[in-house]
């Protein structure tokens, strides 16, 4: 076998060749450097938050079946320009005066929660139960049963969402988000009617 | 006074532990990374509180950027290859084998079908440079509908997702939703970002 002569030569005359004891310690510094370089690279390229989605179901286009709903239950939201929401109720077959609000916490959300509670006075609004649940005042089962009975109550609010051509995609997502937050089980996205466009003119938001 | 002799210590530190940690982290990030497919446009989806995750497989994504251009993407190379063959037959556009191969590597695109062969002949660097005009989706020439239809023919388990920018105008979204419904799909996903901050 080939052997590397590491001896200085001439030191061990005649005697057994003694291998020089080399330290087994290796300098790890370049390896660590490389390791951290790669870590930095992967950390920067990794996108940790996966996008989330919303699931929406639209009615079947092929059927023309319509279902009448009680007008006391319905609220119509018109999404208009400048991130504003115009909403109105129906009374005796005619729309009531439109009201303007926005997407803030005290805007459309407060309205929806208030109106839902009005139609279902036995139960408080979702926000209150959520608060109680997070403070451990009620247990999970009560919380869930309250939530589902709010959602499934027979007089619960039915929301009709109509977006105008001036609104943005963001507005639609925001309003669908409010449906989730306010626990509204029944809502529909419907095309806007000319009558409603007229109505928007009266509030300068067409 | 005798000087106190400070013993000289070696400056060598044992790096083994550090290396261990470094490579552990490296392994983690390597496994956790999923490389983003190159997208012709960057869109900034609106945020929501929804916590449903996007399914990983069988997705077709319709991307709408803030200039209302429509892009189409589908997962799965074999499905894409099949889809372009079908669309070529339907639209009388001949695709060569290399074009089909090139297309199956393309994740998202926004090119009208007539210009597609020319686009596929380009090198990928050239492709990245040009501004893609978007897929026609109006009622006169609804190529998007054909893409959706053929995508479903190639992969019948496909889920459909709309990924719009915050600034996308509503009419185009409505048109796309109508197109999807016309293709007898009534359930789809809207891709959003995680809500952060003010939500409670």
**Range A88-95 average pLDDT:** 76
Strand pairing of B108-109 and A74-79?
unpaired
| Per-residue pLDDT at A196 | 79
Chain B positions touching A134 (Cβ under 8 A) are none
Q: How far is A77 from chain B (nearest CA, A)?
A: 15
Distance (Å, rounded) from C-alpha B170 to C-alpha B174? 6
Residue A109 has φ and ψ, to the nearest 5°, of: -65, -45
Interface A:B, Cβ pairs < 8 A: 153
Residue in chain A closest to B12 (alpha carbons) equals A27
Domain assignment present for B12: no
Domain assignment present for B82: yes
Q: Dihedral sign, CA of B112, B114, B118, B121?
A: positive
Find the CB nearest B50 among A60, A165, A180. Answer: A180
| Per-residue pLDDT at A1 | 43
Chain A positions touching B54 (Cβ under 8 A) are 50-53
Q: Please classify residue B190 by burial: count the beta carbons closer than 10 Å to its beta carbon, then call 0-12 exposed, 13-18 middle and 19+ buried.
A: buried
Distance (Å, rounded) from C-alpha B186 to C-alpha B144? 16
Q: Do the Cβ atoms of A56 and B189 come within 8 Å?
A: yes
Domain assignment present for B154: yes
Q: Do the Cβ atoms of A46 and B54 come within 8 Å?
A: no
Count CB neighbours of A118 within 10 A.
11
Residue B119 — very low, low, confident or very high, per pLDDT cuts 50/70/90? Answer: confident
Domain assignment present for B156: yes
Residue in chain A closest to B195 (alpha carbons) equals A52
Q: Do the Cβ atoms of A176 and B53 come within 8 Å?
A: no
Query: With 80 as the cut, is the pLDDT of residue B163 above it?
Result: yes
Q: Do the Cβ atoms of B54 and A58 come within 8 Å?
A: no
Residue of higher predicted confidence among B2 and B174: B174
Q: How far is A130 from chain B (nearest CA, A)?
A: 9
For B13-71, the pLDDT digits (tens) are 777 888 888 889 888 888 877 766 667 777 787 887 777 777 777 888 888 888 888 88
Q: Do the Cβ atoms of B26 and A79 come within 8 Å?
A: no
Q: Do the Cβ atoms of B192 and A51 come within 8 Å?
A: yes
Domain assignment present for B39: no
**Range A107-111 average pLDDT:** 80
**Range A9-23 average pLDDT:** 62
Q: Do the Cβ atoms of B33 and A58 come within 8 Å?
A: no
Domain assignment present for B31: no
Residue A138 — very low, low, confident or very high, per pLDDT cuts 50/70/90? Answer: confident
Chain B positions touching A52 (Cβ under 8 A) are 48, 50-54, 191-194
Residue of higher predicted confidence among B128 and A18: B128
Query: With 70 as the cut, is the pLDDT of residue A3 above it?
Result: no
| Per-residue pLDDT at B7 | 78
Chain B positions touching A53 (Cβ under 8 A) are 50, 52-54, 161, 189-192
Residues 6+ away with beta carbon under 8 Å from A200: A78, A80, A86, A98, A164, A206
| Per-residue pLDDT at B198 | 45
Is the interface score ipTM higher than 0.85? no
For A61-82, the pLDDT digits (tens) are 666 667 777 777 788 888 887 8
Domain assignment present for B20: no
Domain assignment present for B3: no
| Per-residue pLDDT at A88 | 82
In angstroms, what CA-CA distances link B195 with A49, A106, A131, B25, B45?
11, 18, 19, 28, 11
> b vs e for B168-181, b when ≥16 Cβ sit within 10 Å of the residue's Cβ?
bbbebbbbbbbbbb
Find the CB nearest B50 among A45, A52, A191. Answer: A52
Q: How far is B142 from chain A (nearest CA, A)?
A: 18
| Per-residue pLDDT at B38 | 65
Smallest CA-to-CA distance from B147 within B179, B125, B169 is with: B179
Query: With 60 as the cut, is the pLDDT of residue A12 above it?
Result: no
Q: How far is A72 from chain B (nearest CA, A)?
A: 28
Count CB neighbours of A125 within 10 A.
20
Residues 6+ away with beta carbon under 8 Å from A74: A89, A90, A157, A158, A159, A160
Domain of B173, in residue numbers: 47-194
Residue in chain B closest to A51 (alpha carbons) equals B193
Q: Report the number of distinct structural domains present in chain B.
A: 1
Token digits of residue B29 = 């990030």
Residues 6+ away with beta carbon under 8 Å from A193: A162
Q: Do the Cβ atoms of B170 and A168 come within 8 Å?
A: yes
Place of tokens 């669309």: B87
Place of tokens 């978007």: B134
Token digits of residue A23 = 């330290």
Distance (Å, rounded) from C-alpha A195 to C-alpha B29? 57
Chain A positions touching B160 (Cβ under 8 A) are none
């Amino acid at each position: 076998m080939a052997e590397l002569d590491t001896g200085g030569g001439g030191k061990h005359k005649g005697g057994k060749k003694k291998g020089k004891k080399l330290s087994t310690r290796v300098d790890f510094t370049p390896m660590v450097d490389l390791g951290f370089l790669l870590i930095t690279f992967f950390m920067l390229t990794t996108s940790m938050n996966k996008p989330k989605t919303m699931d929406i179901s639209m009615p079947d286009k092929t059927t023309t079946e319509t279902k009448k709903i009680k007008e006391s239950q319905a609220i119509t939201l018109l999404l208009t320009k400048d991130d504003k929401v115009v909403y109105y109720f129906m009374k005796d077959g005619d729309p009531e005066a439109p009201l303007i609000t926005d997407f803030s916490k005290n805007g459309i959300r407060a309205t929806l929660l208030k109106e839902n509670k009005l139609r279902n006075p036995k139960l408080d609004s979702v926000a209150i139960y959520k608060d109680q649940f997070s403070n451990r005042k009620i247990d999970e089962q009560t919380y869930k049963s309250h939530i589902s009975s709010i959602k499934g109550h027979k007089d619960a609010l039915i929301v009709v969402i109509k977006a105008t051509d001036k609104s943005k995609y963001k507005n639609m997502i925001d309003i669908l988000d409010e449906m989730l937050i306010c626990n509204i089980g029944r809502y529909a996205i419907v095309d806007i009617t000319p009558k409603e466009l007229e109505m928007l003119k009266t509030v300068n938001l067409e | 006074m005798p000087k106190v002799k400070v013993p000289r210590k070696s400056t060598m530190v044992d790096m083994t532990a550090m290396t261990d940690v470094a490579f552990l982290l490296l392994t983690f990030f390597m496994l956790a990374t999923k490389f983003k497919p190159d997208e012709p446009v960057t869109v900034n989806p609106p945020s929501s509180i929804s916590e449903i995750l996007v399914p990983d497989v069988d997705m077709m994504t319709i991307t709408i950027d803030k200039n209302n251009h429509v892009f189409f993407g589908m997962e799965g190379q074999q499905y894409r290859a099949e889809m372009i063959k079908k669309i070529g037959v339907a639209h009388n556009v001949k695709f060569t084998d290399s074009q089909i191969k090139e297309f199956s590597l393309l994740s998202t695109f926004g090119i009208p079908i007539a210009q597609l062969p020319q686009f596929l002949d380009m090198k990928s660097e050239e492709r990245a440079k040009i501004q893609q005009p978007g897929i026609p989706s109006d009622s006169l020439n609804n190529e998007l509908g054909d893409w959706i239809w053929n995508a479903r023919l190639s992969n019948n388990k496909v889920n459909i997702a709309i990924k719009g920018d915050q600034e996308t105008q509503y009419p185009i979204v409505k048109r796309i939703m109508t197109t999807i419904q016309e293709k007898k799909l009534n359930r789809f996903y809207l891709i959003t970002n995680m809500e952060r901050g003010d939500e409670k």
